Amino acid sequence: MNELRMLLEAIEGDAALAAAERFRERIEALDRLDAYLPLIDRADTELARRMQDACAQLEALNAALYRRIREDIRADHDGGRVLERFTDVDVLQAYGQDYDHLDELVAGVLQLPEPTLPTRELGAEMVFYQPTPARHVFAMIARSGLEEGDALVDLGAGLGHVPLLAAICTRTRAVGIELEPAYVACATQAASALGLANAAFLQQDARDADFAIGTVFYLYTPFRGTILREVLDRLRHEAMCRDIRICTFGPCTPVVAQEDWLVADVAPQTDRVVVFRRQIAQS
């Protein structure tokens, strides 16, 4: 318990830990305290109280930060820039499929409700939902060059993290296409609570969606096999008529990279965002 006492002394003695920009350190401190929870001797009431007080203080500071950012977003102030300010790593070079402090920040700001409706059974070519790690969403927003005239379409949007963050951080219209009604309901509720008029969610099969509305399409491997093939064929048809960008993350990236009508902005890898643009035919 000496290590725990030293940790508590460091937390209690660091007044600057209350600063908004120290969010990452607060999350790391909470994680470390949480690791000691199963080990603490409940008979040591003084140590247990100090640990409880430290956690409550850190969580209160984070809750206040989430509240301020949400208020800025609703007031159409700089909530998006505040979020981006916490990407203290170079998200343009983000790798890996693990989650980090940015996901805690995004969860606290978006406050997505838990799905309450029954969920559909996954089809044979559907992929179990998990959200894109937040740093990769920020990387996609930056590297795809999203701007006010664009429309981002997230194919298999899940609970809507990508469209919601794109709508917060840019003036882009962001649309989430999702088959699961419970996820669509949660994402729509979150967008409404934040006053995001530029975010919308549609309960649709991606194969039936109106691709004409999009200029940038995002896929975090929501499906595979013949479904992915059909979606790529439809995207190719759109690309023959106009310039579009296709952003991928996860196992679908190597499949998309094999399309001879697309060129990637970086060497395609499954653990980073790749932005594909239409391959210009050489005369």
d(CA 93, CA 99): 15
The rounded Cα 60 to chain-centroid distance in angstroms is 23
How many residues does the structure list for the chain? 283
CATH number at residue 198: 3.40.50.150
Same domain, 138 and 236: yes
| pLDDT at residue number 255 | 97
- Is residue 240 domain-resident? yes
Same domain, 180 and 266: yes
pLDDT, one tens digit per residue, over 176-201 is: 999 999 999 999 999 999 999 999 99
Number of separate domains in the chain: 2
> Does the pLDDT value for residue 283 go beyond 50?
no
Closest CA to 81 of 20, 149, 15, 30: 20
Neighbours of 147 (CB within 10 A): 11
- Is residue 72 domain-resident? yes
Which pTM does this prediction carry? 0.93
Same domain, 173 and 143: yes
Share of the chain above pLDDT 70, in %: 95
Q: Which domain holds residue 102?
A: 91-278
| pLDDT at residue number 36 | 86
